[in-house]
Amino acid sequence: MSESVGGTDRVSVAKAEYGRLRAGHLSAVSAALEDHVARLDWPRERIERYRDQRLRALLAYARERSPFHAARTRGLDPSSATVADLVRLPVMTKQEAQEEWDAIVTVPGLDREKAEHTLAGQAWFSYTPEGQQIFSSGGSTGVRGVYAWDWELFVTLACLAWRMQAREERRGPPLRHPARLAVLEAGVPPHASTPLFDVPSAAGMETVVIPASAPFDEVLAAVAAARPTHLVGYATVIGRLARAALAGMLEIHPVRVSTNSEPLFEEDQRAIREAWHVPVHNLWGSTEIGVQAVGCGRGVGLHVCEDEVVLERVDEAGTSVAPDEPAARTLATGLANRTFPFIRYDLGDEITPLPGRCECGSSFARLADIAGRRDDDFRYPACTIPASVFRHVLGTDPRVSEYQVRQTRAGAEILVVGAPDAAALTSSVTAELRRHGLPEPEVRIRPVDRLPRHEATGKLRRFIALR
């Protein structure tokens, strides 16, 4: 049973109702997890064969029940299609997904109006009478999205999110203390992160949900009180907790850490390893597709969930490119989502394939850790400044615990939590911007007590570009 901070009577009643149905959902996850863990040892041939079979089933289902996809897949035979045939289909965009909602959804009687009504009326996470969960996300990037997950999709995504950790838990020695998972996610509806990650990954594990958007001193106190053996949550929040532990402000001893929902920057990963010396399982996902890739905690990078996701690296025209060629975008097809199918969907993230087989033994393909979205880069009339330029300077300053960079017309305003040498930091950032082509950069460092996180999702938008 999970706990949560605060709540009115109405919320408590909603939580109780949700908990009764969710108990069955979690039992289904526990049962399905056995199969998903076994898949991690599949040979390449079996992965590819299974993926093609799943793709054919999805295409046939979507064509039959979604007018939007029926039009897009015209001319493609679902019974014989393979991953290589997807290039024949047009790219699906976020704007299309929201504008064509009623033509995409495959559940009779469910439409955008009813989905919005569900979101507006829920006091806590809930299910529709037909068994769907309705989520909203994207507000932190300026484009709101509404999505529907069905019962089976949630089971699949929870298994994808936790199977790497479950596999490693079984390989290691048993815990000497009862397992307790601290879930540092949105904490409130309508974002999907809380129900997806508030899932026990080991028998007898308790969970406690701590809203990531709360003031950091409250988060710090809640984590200290929980004394978790496992941590899962936003990369920036866990990175800051690790720096607090290194500074002697937090005394916990987790045996495993899982990060998600935001890029795991080098400074956060380094702090986590230095603070606790534990495996870090980074996850790359989206509300639309679900879980796309997960780190095994042993080798570098992330393993693509190829049994349930097809990823395509393509050029501006939507044509596939070779692994060693640059790509303009990444397209994703979620094989498990039949309620609201996403087929060749533009994720907006950049990915880099990693060669060779991982030391963990899995044959699933690997990607380098996701550095961020294309729109994290700042574009000026004279040049484009990659987000990594700021990360290199700000993320290596031990006196900066968190930061946010806001583009200005001639440079950047940088909000920092901590006690850095503002003059030296300004000089370093200015020099890097000049070195990357910005002629006369204007940089302002502004110390703040806390950074604003998105009210609904709890995410920190690290880089804010000018529109």
Task: Note down pLDDT in tens along the chain; length 467 residues.
Answer: 444 444 468 888 998 988 888 899 999 999 999 999 999 999 999 999 999 999 999 999 999 999 999 999 998 999 999 999 999 999 999 889 999 999 999 999 999 999 988 988 888 888 888 789 999 875 444 456 899 999 999 999 999 999 999 999 888 888 878 899 999 988 778 888 889 999 998 888 999 999 887 778 899 999 999 999 999 998 888 999 999 999 999 999 999 999 998 888 888 899 999 999 999 999 999 999 999 999 999 999 999 999 999 999 998 888 888 888 888 889 999 999 999 999 999 987 888 999 999 999 999 999 998 865 555 678 899 888 877 678 768 866 768 878 899 999 999 999 999 889 999 999 999 998 998 889 999 999 999 998 887 665 667 788 898 87
| CATH of residue 443 | 3.30.300.30
CB atoms within 10 A of CB 398: 12
Same domain, 236 and 337: yes
Cα dihedral 301, 306, 234, 393 in deg (nearest 10):
30
| Angstrom distance (rounded) from CA 59 to CA 83 | 11
Q: Which amino acid is at 167?
A: R
Distances (CA, A) of 103 to 90, 100, 107, 275: 16, 5, 10, 49
- Label residue 458 left, alpha or beta by phi (over 0 means left) and psi (-120 to 50 means alpha): left
Same domain, 339 and 396: no
The pLDDT, as a whole number, for residue 100 is 97
Same domain, 342 and 381: no
Same domain, 259 and 332: yes
| Angstrom distance (rounded) from CA 413 to CA 459 | 20
Helix/strand/coil (H, E, C) string of the chain? CEEECCCCHHHHHHHHHHHHHHHHHHHHHHHHHHHHHHHCCCCHHHHHHHHHHHHHHHHHHHHHHCHHHHHHCCCCCCCCCCHHHHHHCCCECHHHHHHCHHHHCCCCCCCHHHHHHHHHHCCCCCCCCCCCEEEEECHHHCCCEEEEECHHHHHHHHHHHHHHHHHHHHHCCCCCCCCEEEEECCCCCCCCHHHHHCCCCCCCCEEEECCCCCCHHHHHHHHHHHCCCEEEEEHHHHHHHHHHHHCCCCCCCCCEEEEECCCCCHHHHHHHHHHHCCCEEEEEEECCCEEEEECCCCCCCEEECCCCEEEEEECCCCCECCCCCCCCEEEEEECCCCCCCCCCEECCECCCEECCCCCCCCCCCEECCCCCEHHHCEECCCCEECHHHHHHHHCCCCCEEEEEEEECCCEEEEEEEECCCHHHHHHHHHHHHHHCCCCCCEEEEEECCCCCCCCCCCCCCCEECCC
Same domain, 323 and 424: no
pTM for the predicted model, two decimal places: 0.82
Same domain, 200 and 325: yes
- Residue 17 CB-density burial (10 A; 0-12 exposed, 13-18 middle, 19+ buried): middle
Same domain, 361 and 415: no
Same domain, 328 and 249: yes
Q: How many domains does the chain have?
A: 2
The pLDDT, as a whole number, for residue 193 is 87
The pLDDT, as a whole number, for residue 4 is 47
Choosing from 370, 394, 429, the residue where a domain stops is: 370
The pLDDT, as a whole number, for residue 141 is 45
Q: Which amino acid is at 225?
A: A
The pLDDT, as a whole number, for residue 329 is 87
Question: 290-294 and 280-286: which strand pairing?
Answer: antiparallel
| CATH of residue 74 | 3.40.50.12780
Same domain, 384 and 361: no
What residues make up the domain containing 34?
1-370
Same domain, 125 and 272: yes
To the nearest 10 degrees (0 to 180), the angle between helices 151-171 and 9-39 is 60
Q: Please name every residue paired with 290 in a beta bridge, in sequence order, or none if there are none.
A: 286
Same domain, 309 and 458: no
Cα dihedral 260, 261, 265, 268 in deg (nearest 10):
-60
- Label residue 90 left, alpha or beta by phi (over 0 means left) and psi (-120 to 50 means alpha): beta
Same domain, 361 and 383: no
Contact status, residue 180 vs residue 210, Cβ threshold 8 Å: no
Choosing from 325, 349, 370, the residue where a domain stops is: 370
Choosing from 320, 355, 370, the residue where a domain stops is: 370
Angle at 412 between CA 409 and CA 416, to 5 degrees: 155
